[in-house]
Amino acid sequence: MLQVPFIRENKDAVVARLAIRNLDAKPLIEEVLVLDEKRRSIQAELDGVLAESNKISKDIGALYKSGKADEANALKTKTGELKEQSKTLGDLLNETADALTQLLYKIPNVPNEKVPAGNSDADNVETFREGDFPILHENAKPHWELVKDYNIIDFELGNKITGAGFPVYIGKGARLQRALIAYFLDKNTKAGYTEYQLPHLINEASGIGTGQLPDKEGQMYHVTEDNLYLIPTAEVPGTNLFRDTLLNESDLPITITGYTPCFRREAGSYGAHVRGLNRLHQFDKVEIIRVEHPENSYKALDGMVAHIQGILKELELPYRILTLCGGDVTFASALTYDFEVFSTAQEKWLEVSSVSNFETFQANRLKLRFKNSDGKNELAHTLNGSSLALPRILASILENYQTPEGIKVPKVLVPYCGFEMIN
């Protein structure tokens, strides 16, 4: 959530930067400033009433001590009127502040200067590419056919149990999935991230804190009776560990990693681009999360990018890095880099990770602050990244490592899964 003082002091710049998202934010920003002015005016009036009430209360006490009971009793009538007035103003202040907050919830984060203009993912900018595309044998197949041949993932069985987008992993498919999770967690903990096991359901306040609510409410599975939501990513419970928290500057940076299943209700379209593991309603992901000093957050973002590059190099998968354009960057992000792995069998790039800096946007919602060197409370910066999302990584491994004899396992994963080939 944007800070009102920031909007007030940078009104034109905020409108200009939000235009990069293809959003005409001027009406919203104007409404924010009107509501904020109203809120401040009510607050000033309320402060005046409370100050007058306090002064009169002291005067009443002094009059009683002086034996002037009649004058004191006369003033009591005035304090009753002021009390009623303060209650009316307090209610109006709360109503106005709530309206302001609800309006701020509708405004996305201001994109960083590095975010290019653009309307959709077609306008994202490739900034780096590494790795050679494997040369596959003549009868190479996409993963949704390979998994049937080797009986390692059953989409139809998952559809029977739950519905489309809920696959069942079997035998070596399940072991390879588990190997990837363990490998990712080991890489992250060796890089200094502390591992957490996190809840798979969150309350409404947690969804609001990281920006999933109210923006993505329709994309999340909702347990209505308990008003809980299935997590779309470990980012949400992980970042909310520090909701309503005042840290010391020496506590920063805070680094977290965690594995969770993820649940996304978003409707899928039909076609090869969403077949098999390409788009699921339930999938596994290992996340990295950072709480950073504002001065260090973009250096930390570069470090997260380098960390994920190292993992993809060890998996020996061809990948590229994209800077997301204004039309594709997420609601809460100031700057996002996407990693895509090339699937030779599908002849397409598959997104496997997003790494984002949210600056103070989440921290403002979360009331996540630290006491700086001047002794003042300051909002921290939050960052997160997939390290990594499993479905498309698994799909890429199955497709890019296939041979006429079977599917090879990347060397780095062999110690984790205990076999070198799926055949």
Q: Are 381 and 293 contacting, i.e. CB atoms less than 8 angstroms apart? A: yes
Q: Are 255 and 241 contacting, i.e. CB atoms less than 8 angstroms apart? A: no
The response to whether 296 counts as a known ligand-binding position is no
Beta strands in 79-235, from DSSP E residues, in sequence order: 125-130, 153-154, 168-169, 194-195, 201-203, 222-223, 228-230
Q: Are 257 and 185 contacting, i.e. CB atoms less than 8 angstroms apart? A: yes
The response to whether 266 counts as a known ligand-binding position is yes
The response to whether 354 counts as a known ligand-binding position is yes
Q: Are 32 and 336 contacting, i.e. CB atoms less than 8 angstroms apart? A: no
Amino acid symbol at 336:
T
* Whole-angstrom distance, CA of residue 20 vs CA of residue 118: 7
Which whole-number Å values give the CA distances from 86 to 16, 57, 78, 92, 409, in the listed order? 40, 15, 12, 10, 71
H or E segment and range at residue 422: strand 421-422
Task: Provide the phi-psi class of 319: left if phi over 0, else alpha when psi is between -120 and 50, else beta.
Answer: beta
The response to whether 353 counts as a known ligand-binding position is yes
The response to whether 384 counts as a known ligand-binding position is yes
Angle (nearest 5°) at CA 89 between 86 and 95: 140
Look up residue 183 and give its DSSP letter: H
The response to whether 21 counts as a known ligand-binding position is no
Which whole-number Å values give the CA distances from 386 to 9, 153, 390, in the listed order? 35, 23, 9
Q: Are 391 and 353 contacting, i.e. CB atoms less than 8 angstroms apart? A: no
Using DSSP, state whether 223 is helix, strand or coil: strand
The response to whether 178 counts as a known ligand-binding position is no
The response to whether 204 counts as a known ligand-binding position is no
Buried b or exposed e, range 207-216, using 16+ CB within 10 angstroms: bbbbbbbebb
- Report the 10 Å Cβ neighbour count for 30: 12
The response to whether 10 counts as a known ligand-binding position is no
- Report the 10 Å Cβ neighbour count for 154: 17
Q: Work out the burial of residue 309: count CB atoms within 10 Å of its CB; fewer than 13 is exposed, 13-18 middle, 19 or more buried.
A: middle
The response to whether 295 counts as a known ligand-binding position is no
Using DSSP, state whether 156 is helix, strand or coil: helix
Residue stretches of the annotated binding site? 233, 264-266, 287, 351-354, 384
Residue stretches of the annotated binding site for ATP? 264-266, 351-354
Residue stretches of the annotated binding site for L-serine? 233, 264, 287, 384
